[in-house]
């Protein structure tokens, strides 16, 4: 697992880290906000758009539509809008038709293509509630849900995301890594990889907030906010990633909005504006 070039990178990073810590005792240095991985001249080159569900995995359903069809329509519009507004960025799709794609395969595709952003599109839905009607307990649809929700993967105990980051960041070792998926991460490597994972988490939250602000302040949508929780489709991504719950498909009013040309245009345009702002911020940093 180790090679000379990789060890030089790791221990050089640690030496820089230690020297900065020692220096901070004598000099007050302003703390910068979360940054992208070091390297200078950073550019967002690839964005992966994921249309949630597909094929036999229909997802949530409304009165006349299915989640898998709404997310595909939104994803195709988002791809077209990003290609128009972000001409220097490669826009990839996890699916472009009604096919089943395993959640794990979606992350693998993003990692293999060295994506800089991963956005998964979904529709929300509330479960039925139990009520007593005429003396009998029955299951009644709950159509009260309203608004957008953006999820960012919460870092758990699993090392799966660290392993994904390791493969994504150190290309010279990829072939070897792919044959030793369960190999242990040495302590020095773990420091760097965990730092990267924390960076991706912070960037995911920042991008999520930018998108949420567009929904709320430009589209006047109700929002349930940005929440960190375990999300299977995001768990193994090695880049800033988020899941957008675009609305409640089992709420008749929201279902109409999610299926309308106007609603889909608003959703995609808001995401594009936020991504452009995020991209500009990162690329202007020294």
For the chain, list the domains and their CATH numbers: 44-155+204-281 (3.40.630.40)
Instruction: Read off the pLDDT band of 193 (50, 70, 90).
Output: low
Instruction: Read off the pLDDT band of 180 (50, 70, 90).
Output: very low
Q: How far apart are CA 69 and CA 241, in angstroms?
A: 22
Q: What is the 3-state secondary structure (H, E, C) of 113-166?
A: CCCCEEEEEEEECCCCEEEEECCEEEEECCCCCCCEEEEEECCCCCCHHHHHHH
- Residue 185 CB-density burial (10 A; 0-12 exposed, 13-18 middle, 19+ buried): middle
Q: How far apart are CA 105 and CA 13, in angstroms?
A: 32
Question: pTM score, two decimals?
Answer: 0.76
Q: How far apart are CA 228 and CA 198, in angstroms?
A: 13
The answer to whether 72 touches 50, Cβ cutoff 8 Å, is no
The label of the residue with tokens 């703390």 reads 31
Q: How far apart are CA 45 and CA 18, in angstroms?
A: 32
- Give pLDDT tens digits for 219-245: 999 999 999 988 889 888 889 999 999
Classify strands 136-140 and 129-133 as parallel, antiparallel or unpaired. antiparallel
Instruction: Read off the pLDDT band of 93 (50, 70, 90).
Output: very high
The answer to whether 68 touches 98, Cβ cutoff 8 Å, is yes
> For 35-53, what is the mean pLDDT?
79
Q: How far apart are CA 188 and CA 202, in angstroms?
A: 22
The label of the residue with tokens 């249309």 reads 51
- Of 2-11, 21-30, 152-161, 263-272, the one with minimum mean pLDDT is 21-30
Has residue 16 got a pLDDT over 50? no
The better pLDDT of the pair 83, 108 is held by 83
Using DSSP's 3-state secondary structure scheme, residue 97 falls into coil
């Amino acid at each position: 697992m180790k090679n000379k070039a990789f060890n030089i990178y790791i221990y050089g990073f640690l030496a820089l880290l230690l020297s900065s810590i020692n220096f901070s005792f004598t000099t007050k240095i302003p703390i910068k906000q979360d940054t992208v991985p070091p390297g200078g001249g950073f550019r967002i080159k690839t964005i992966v758009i994921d249309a949630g569900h597909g094929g036999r995995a229909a997802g949530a359903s409304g009165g006349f539509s299915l989640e898998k069809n709404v997310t595909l329509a939104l994803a195709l519009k988002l791809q077209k809008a990003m290609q128009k507004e972000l001409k220097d960025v490669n826009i990839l799709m996890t699916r472009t038709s009604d096919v089943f794609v395993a959640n794990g395969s979606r992350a693998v595709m993003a990692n293999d293509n060295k994506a800089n952003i991963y956005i998964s599109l979904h529709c929300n839905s509330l479960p039925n509630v139990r009520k007593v009607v005429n003396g009998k307990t029955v299951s009644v649809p709950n159509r009260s849900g309203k608004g957008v929700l953006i999820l960012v993967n919460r870092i758990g105990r699993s090392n799966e995301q660290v392993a994904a980051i390791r493969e994504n960041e150190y290309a010279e070792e990829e072939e070897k890594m792919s044959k030793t998926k369960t190999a242990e991460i040495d302590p020095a490597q773990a420091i760097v990889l965990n730092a990267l994972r924390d960076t991706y988490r912070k960037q995911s939250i920042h991008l999520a907030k930018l998108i949420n602000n567009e929904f709320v302040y430009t589209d006047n949508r109700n929002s349930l906010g940005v929440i960190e929780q375990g999300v299977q489709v995001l768990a193994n991504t090695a880049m800033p990633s988020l899941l957008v719950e675009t609305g409640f498909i089992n709420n008749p009013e929201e279902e109409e909005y999610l299926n309308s040309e106007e609603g889909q245009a608003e959703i995609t345009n808001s995401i594009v504006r936020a991504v452009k702002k995020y991209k500009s911020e990162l690329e202007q940093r020294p």
